[in-house]
Amino acid sequence: MALNKKSKLGASPTVDIQTDGHPNGLFVLFFSEMWERFCYYGMRVLLILYLVKSLGKGDAQASLIYGSYTALVYAAPVLGGKMADKFLGYRLAILLGALLMALGEFLILGGNDFWLLIGMGAIIVGNGYFKANISTIVGKLYADDDPRRDSGFTIFYIGINIGALLATTVVAYVGETYGFRYGFALAGFGMIAGFLIFWFGRHRYAHAEGLDIRPEAYKKVFGPINYLHLIILGTFAFIPLCYVLISQNQIMDFLLLGVFALVAFNLIKAGIAEGGVWKDRMIALVIFMLINIGFWASFEQAGTSLTLFADRNVDRFIGGWEMPASMTQFFNPAFIIIFGSLFSVMWVRLTRINKNPSIPIKFSLGFLQLGLGFLVTLLAANFAEDFKVPLLTLVFLYLLHTTGELFISPIGLSMVTKLSPKNIAGTAMGGWFLSFAIANFVAGKIAALTGVEEGGAPVTLEVGFNKYLTVFTNIGLVLIGLSILIAIFSKPLNKLMHGVR
């Protein structure tokens, strides 16, 4: 039992209280993260429809705004994690992040382009602080050799998906039924709930290392200004920078490409310094980063083209009730909750009988399922009435997308930790998350291909239906082609990985 000194943020001296199962702090972090995901996905689930229906953006323009925003959301934790590690400590970083995310949701209520983009900037920066650091605290609740660690992260992951499920049902319904502003406000109040749970439950996780503000934060930079002051000022300065990057999103092409090239170069250079095996593994990691971009650029159509498709070309009536278009995004987190544990058990059992597929083959199968999910729309076209396919189309599409995700998402995170030398593990994980940022930006560009008319619905249902069908079919066929290509090159990839499975 560890006694923790009183922190600078007011936590009382406490002991590491644990039940027979997990540290009590895990459940504080579980609910804090659940509400943070409720906040983030609550805004995201409504975003494309808000851009098109309330702000009058064309499909293509709205998709590029969406893609730029989600790309920056994934890039921000790289910087947020570094600031917490070096200066802020995990507690202050998370509290600051929560407040910024709530503020961002409420700024969007201004109801025009300016307030939306400023609100997005606040959410991006806040997410960078919150998302990067709360999972770090989860890990620090356990000793390195604690057998409960994996189980603890599994519980935490369930919290993430419950938050996403609540957002894609409750916030989606409220936003489309009563008005977008009520949905955004509800997401903001969800983040305030997460902030309060994290603050008032702080004594339960107080034994975790690295919570307090670092001594380096109090070093003077010039005059009375120290690093802590500078970081707080810089945090708010980043909000208008995000505004510019989203509104002038052509800049993102060069920015993301340049950063990716720099990260890839540094990873391979660090691998060469560690020896031949690590050099090969870093080359493999860069290749998998490129593969990862291809998967998620297609998967992330959920929030853009697939939501607009649901709004215009899917018969969403269940009995006498019409499901809101944004609410169709709930299928993914629901299927994750249903199948996540089953997949976890499946991998363990396949390992025991020496039948667990290699990482490249898992990626190949993930691409195959994602591609088949898009081709469901082609099959469903045979059952369309008045250019609207049955709701079951999205059920089967998201089912295949989710099983494909489960072949790649948890496997990829584990792979990065195995392929990377310990001294650059953080950089490697940052590079992996950078691939998600690029994927989200590319996803916006792909979604823009489905745009039919500036400022609202397609000219006719038929024109829109045929364009969606063409783009989704092409995405599906390309993904299946990539699946075959990855399978063909699985042996050379395994050779580069030198035994990592």
Taken in order of first residue, the domains within the chain and their CATH numbers are 21-248 (1.20.1250.20), 251-501 (1.20.1250.20)
Element (H, E) at 220: strand 220-222
pLDDT at 14 over 50: no
CA 72 to chain centre: 11
Q: Pairing mode, if any, of strands 314-315 and 389-390?
A: parallel
* Tens-digit pLDDT profile for residues 408-442: 998 888 899 889 887 888 788 889 989 999 999 99
Given the structure tokens 């489309």, which residue do they identify?
A: 176
pLDDT at 426: 74
Q: What are the tokens at 496? A: 């580069």
pLDDT at 17 over 70: no
* Tens-digit pLDDT profile for residues 149-173: 878 888 898 999 999 999 999 999 9
Question: Angle CA(438)–CA(442)–CA(448) in degrees, nearest 5?
Answer: 155
pLDDT at 6 over 80: no
pLDDT at 1 over 60: no
pLDDT at 330: 97
Contact 102, 89 (CB under 8 A): no
pLDDT at 454: 52
pLDDT at 88 over 90: yes
pLDDT at 25 over 50: yes
Look up residue 440 and give its DSSP letter. Answer: H
12-16, 29-33, 304-308, 369-373: the lowest-pLDDT one: 12-16
Distance between CA atoms of residues 148 and 411, nearest Å? 19
Distance between CA atoms of residues 388 and 491, nearest Å? 44
What is the CB neighbour count within 10 angstroms for residue 326? 29
Cβ neighbours for 301, distance < 8 A, ≥ 6 positions apart: 443, 446, 447, 475
Average pLDDT for residues 394-413, to the nearest whole number? 94
Q: Residue 4 — pLDDT band, cuts 50, 70, 90?
A: very low
Average pLDDT, the chain: 92
Encoded amino acid at 362, one letter:
K
**pTM, entire model:** 0.93
Helices 250-274 and 425-448, packing angle to 10 deg: 150
pLDDT at 132 over 90: no
* Tens-digit pLDDT profile for residues 27-56: 999 999 999 999 999 999 999 999 999 999
Distance between CA atoms of residues 120 and 118, nearest Å? 5
Contact 284, 496 (CB under 8 A): yes
Contact 289, 301 (CB under 8 A): no
| Closest by Cα among 311, 303, 332, 331 to 465 | 311
Query: Which residue(s) pair with 23 in the sheet?
Result: 18
pLDDT at 18: 55
Percent of the chain having pLDDT more than 70? 95
**CA 421 vs CA 26, 275, 279, 281, 361: distances in Å:** 28, 10, 10, 9, 24
Q: What are the tokens at 157? A: 């992951």
Q: Residue 11 — pLDDT band, cuts 50, 70, 90?
A: very low
pLDDT higher at 237 or 145: 237
Q: What are the tokens at 227? A: 């690093």
Q: Residue 3 — pLDDT band, cuts 50, 70, 90?
A: very low
Percent of the chain having pLDDT more than 90? 82
Q: Phi, psi (5° rounding) for residue 451?
A: -60, 135
